[in-house]
Amino acid sequence: MSRVLTALQPTGVLHIGNYFGAIEPFLKLQDQGNENFLFAVDYHAITVPQDPETLRKNLLFATAVYLAAGVDPSKTTLFQQSHVQEHTELAWILNCIAGMGELERMTQYKDKAKGKGESVSVGLFAYPVLMAADILLYDTHIVPVGEDQKQHVELARDLAERFNNRFGFTFVIPKPQIRESGARIMGLDDPEKKMSKSAPSEKNYISLMDDEATVLKKIKSAVTDSEGTIVYREHRKGMANLMTIYSLMSGSSMSEIEKIFEGKGYGDFKVALAAEITAFLSPLQTKIKSYLEDEDALRQVLASGAEKAREIAAKKMTEVRKKIGVA
């Protein structure tokens, strides 16, 4: 049995990139009888300023989304990162073996720090080390994530190896698991960059909570090209992205999609794509809303998840403290 672990930031909306990049692959592994951990990384979220009331709401919203999507608390330890103090404790220790150079090379940091100059937070810089702690604390084997997180999981592997070499075997070396298609859904308004919840325009992403009219409007304004055909070619970035989304939503292969839309234009394709997205989102939204009606029940799920997580994390930290000589 493998240990599977992933986490998402409880910030803003969750979009279809998050769903297909991380949540759906996690659900597949959950239902294959692995030992599973899923949590909302609130201490990662505060690496950029957050409004406290909004963060509190987003934590419950994220929990409702996971449950609605099919996360089963009897199979998955579902919790909130800050409820398990060992994450930040291990992060500090790993900060002391991580190099400035390797963190400076992280592309997410470079992207997010751009234009911020000296005001960029130390937390944003050390973000990947906290993520390594999240993973290593639980002897994780598999980390299902979107393509953009691969470099961070590789850093976790490097830090685990470095720690093991210095102090004797302590941490399992984790592997990222990245799906072949759908690991990097691109922005609707800019198919050169990944779909992102922190994009400047809402037209960049389809939120899991978008209604039918919003989905149609966003898809209609999505960037395509001047070729006019529904044919999958990697260099046709906008169309390749929309066809990938169609395929993920409907389960149809690219050649099936090409056949369905032979002789048709972008207008027909976009209307059909919007309908596929709404057919996927609307039952999910009904479930999310119903979980959100009972906030105490959501808090209860998180509390019992944290209790289970703490047991494992506390044992690992007892070992780590001994290994480094503070206990």
Cβ contacts of 267 within 8 Å, gap of 6 or more: none
- CA nearest 156: which of 139, 180, 179? 139
Burial (0-12, 13-18, 19+ Cβ within 10 Å), 14: buried
Residue 205 to residue 241: CA distance in whole angstroms: 12
Collapsing DSSP to helix, strand or coil, 194 comes out as strand
Q: How far is the CB of 50 from ligand ATP (least distance, A)?
A: 12
Q: Which is nearer to ligand LTN, 194 or 270 (CB)?
A: 194
* Closest separation in Å from C-beta 36 to ligand LTN: 12
135 binds, among ligand LTN, ligand ATP, none (CB under 5 to 8 A by kind): ligand LTN
Closest contact distance (angstroms) between CB of 197 and ligand ATP is 4
190 is in an annotated binding site: no
Which of the stretches 14-22, 71-79, 120-128, 164-172 binds ligand ATP when contact is defined by CB under 6 A?
14-22
Of these residues, 75, 197, 217, 323, which one is catalytic? 197
Expressed in angstroms, the distance from the first to the final Cα of the chain is 31
Q: Is 218 a catalytic residue?
A: no
CA-nearest of 142, 136, 183, 170 to 156 is 136
Nearest CA among 167, 95, 161, 139 for reference residue 321: 167
Exactly one of 78, 91, 126, 195 binds ligand ATP (CB under 6 A); which one?
A: 195
Spatial distance between the Cα atoms of 21 and 184, rounded to a whole number of angstroms? 7
35-40, strands of its sheet edge to edge:
76-80, 35-40, 3-8, 142-144, 175-177
Q: Of 44, 141, 157, 194, which one interacts with ligand LTN (CB under 6 A)? A: 44
Strand partners, 78: 38
The least CB distance from residue 301 to ligand ATP, in Å, is: 19
- Which of 197, 217, 287, 323 touches ligand ATP (CB under 6 A)? 197
CA atoms within 13 A on the CB side of 54: 9
The answer to whether residue 145 forms part of the interface with ligand LTN (CB under 6 A) is yes
As a whole number of angstroms, the distance between CA 47 and CA 42 comes to: 9
Q: How far is the CB of 23 from ligand LTN (least distance, A)?
A: 11
Among 3, 4, 5, 8, the residue binding ligand ATP under the rule CB under 6 A is 8
In the shown chain, the binding pattern of residues 135 to 174 toward ligand ATP, with x for contact by CB under 6 A and - for none, equals ----------xx-xx-------------------------
Binding segment toward ligand LTN, per CB under 6 A, in 115-123, 130-138, 191-199, 312-320 = 130-138
Tokens of 185: 């859904």
- Catalytic residue (one of 194, 203, 218, 270): 194
With residue 144 as reference, give the H or E element that holds it: strand 142-144
Is 237 known as a binding-site position?
Answer: no
Q: Which residues bind ligand ATP (CB under 6 A)?
A: 8-9, 17-18, 21-22, 145-146, 148-149, 183-185, 194-198
Q: Which residues bind ligand LTN (CB under 6 A)?
A: 5-9, 41, 44, 131, 134-135, 143, 145, 149, 152
Active site residues: 112, 194, 197
Binding region: 9-11, 17-18, 134, 146-148, 185, 194-198
